[in-house]
Structure 1
Amino acid sequence: MMHRKVLHEWFNTSKGQVLQQQEAAFLKRSVTVSCKQVIVQIGALGWENEFIDSSLYEQFYVMDDEQDSCYKNKLLRGTTIALPFKSESVDMVILPHLLEFDTNKHQVLREVERILKPEGKLTIISFNPWNIYINLQYMKRRARNTPWFPGLVSRTRIEDWLRLLNFEVELAAGFNFDATRINSGHAEGRGQELRVAAYGIKAIKRCYHLIPLTPVREYHAKFALAKFIDISIRQRQYDTDS
């Protein structure tokens, strides 16, 4: 697993601060569950107070094995391939820059699907693999004995993975260094996609239940139907004239 400490160092740079503001705004709008519901963030950022108030969300937890969150009393230790939560016990999961640093991406998403309740919310923040600057910054700050290139995944691929797990993607947005506004990720062309430094995805866990079809019983009429008597054309014409 790549070390996410590189992430904290980079967010302290000038461009990192610009991106942080946009991501914090996106995360703040994504937290739409009630204060009594359970929210789990997998992967500490260190600036959680920018998008959530821990005093309001008493059941907000951050799980990380390497770094600390702003709310140390909410910090949990655990592994991403076996999340320490019961099945269908969480209302919302946040994955901020986690998948690009984890070698078990599919297993992480399967575990997220397992712990989320039906209609539970999922928010993902990830770097854009097509952005040259992001790749150069990683190579510059990467730790020893880690791959030269980060394991970044495109937004469209993650959306495909989510659909296979019965998630419905509600919204996708792109963040860059040139503007403070959030751009719609679905409207990106190739030129704009290269300028996007990171993207956000909001999805909902859908649960579809199959209704078994029972064989139709053979119909038996309880009443005898009278036999239709064909009326001749001349007789029908007579009845009409009269």
Structure 2
Amino acid sequence: MSEKSIIALDKWLHSPAGAYVRAWEQSCLDELTADIFGYNAVQIGVPQIDALAASRMPNKWQAATRTSTADELAICSGNQIGIALDFAELPFASQSLDLVVLPHVLEFAAEPHQVLREVERVLIPEGQVIICGFNPASLWGVRQGVGKITSSDYLPTAGEFISLPRLKDWLKLLNLGVSRSHFGCYAPPFRTTHWLDRFSLMESAGQKWWPYLGAVYMVHAIKRVKGMRLIGPVWNKKKAKSTQTVPATNRNERIK
């Protein structure tokens, strides 16, 4: 992520719409991460959301870019163990992490494919990744498209928003199988808390009637390793051979 995109996203997350998104994502992340078990978890980017707050893993890290603002680094140090890194070159050993959370990282990264490749590398087999993103196929996405024409943007302009089908294709190429997808934030793209709150009833209606049109999505994927299967201990096979019954004809020969 560039310094320009970090500043733009940080400023937007402190707006009424940003607070609305953070509240929904925090609730959804708490529900998801509470049931994911392991030892090592990392949240990359957007420290304004404590994605690992409900995680019960013993080792948790909060990562920001080396170009992060002072406020972001302060938030990192206040939450989990804060580290500064390059998202495209993660300083973790291959197959060493159980969980990686990417809140709005791919859409603001210069090389989103490389970030995903690094995530796949550091995850253990059956390790899990959670990705948050803005949904282009939503009222907010339409508003952003109109804003680019009228020079009145609603979301940060530095981001390139990724549709869910496109993201699923990227994950599939890396053997990251999507387990679940969640959508939220169905209120129209208002700029004030007053109007966003007045349309809060659209949250339950959207989940029921137009579930794929939420302004934000969250994808939960699992790293699959091809050709990997569980087998029993070798001595079981040897034991099975040694305890085989002797055919009746052989028994008769021995009696003779």
TM-score, scaled relative to structure 2 = 0.67
The correspondence for 1:42, drawn from 41, 44, 48, is: 44
Report deviation, 1:119.
0.3
Larger fraction in helix: 2
Alignment of 1:85-124 (within 5 A): 85-124=92-131
Question: AA paired with 2:99?
Answer: M
The structure number with the bigger radius of gyration is 1
Report deviation, 1:94.
0.2
Q: Which residue of 1 aligns with 2:60?
A: 60
Moved over 3 A (4+): 133-142, 179-185
Tell me if the contact between 1:42 and 1:96 (Cα under 8 Å) persists in the aligned partners: yes
Identity level (%):
28
Q: Which residue of 1 aligns with 2:170?
A: 161
Spell out, residue by residue over 1:30-73, the C-alpha distance to the aligned partner (whole angstroms, 9 max, x if none).
Answer: 21233x61111111332317x6158x544111111213263406
Spell out, residue by residue over 1:180-218, the C-alpha distance to the aligned partner (whole angstroms, 9 max, x if none).
Answer: 459669x958xx63xx2111100000111279xxxxxxx
TM-score, scaled relative to structure 1 = 0.71
List runs of 5+ in structure 1 lacking aligned partners. Answer: 143-147, 212-242
Report deviation, 1:13.
2.2
Task: Give the number of equivalent residue pairs.
Answer: 198
List runs of 5+ in structure 2 lacking aligned partners. Answer: 188-201, 230-256
Range with greater deviation from structure 2 (150-159 or 171-180) = 171-180
Question: AA paired with 2:163?
Answer: S
Q: Which residue of 1 aligns with 2:29?
A: 27
Tell me if the contact between 1:42 and 1:94 (Cα under 8 Å) persists in the aligned partners: yes
Q: Which residue of 1 aligns with 2:184?
A: 175
What is the aligned-residue RMSD (CA, Å)? 3.0
Range with greater deviation from structure 2 (59-68 or 120-129) = 59-68
Counterpart Cα distance in 1 of 2:10 and 2:176: 30
The correspondence for 2:89, drawn from 82, 94, 107, is: 82
The correspondence for 2:216, drawn from 194, 198, 201, is: 198
Counterpart Cα distance in 1 of 2:92 and 2:206: 34
Q: Which residue of 2 aligns with 1:133?
A: 143
Report deviation, 1:107.
0.6
Counterpart Cα distance in 1 of 2:93 and 2:159: 31
**Cα–Cα, structure 1 residues 204 and 158, in superposed 2: closer, same or farther, change >3 Å?**
same
**Cα–Cα, structure 1 residues 85 and 149, in superposed 2: closer, same or farther, change >3 Å?**
closer
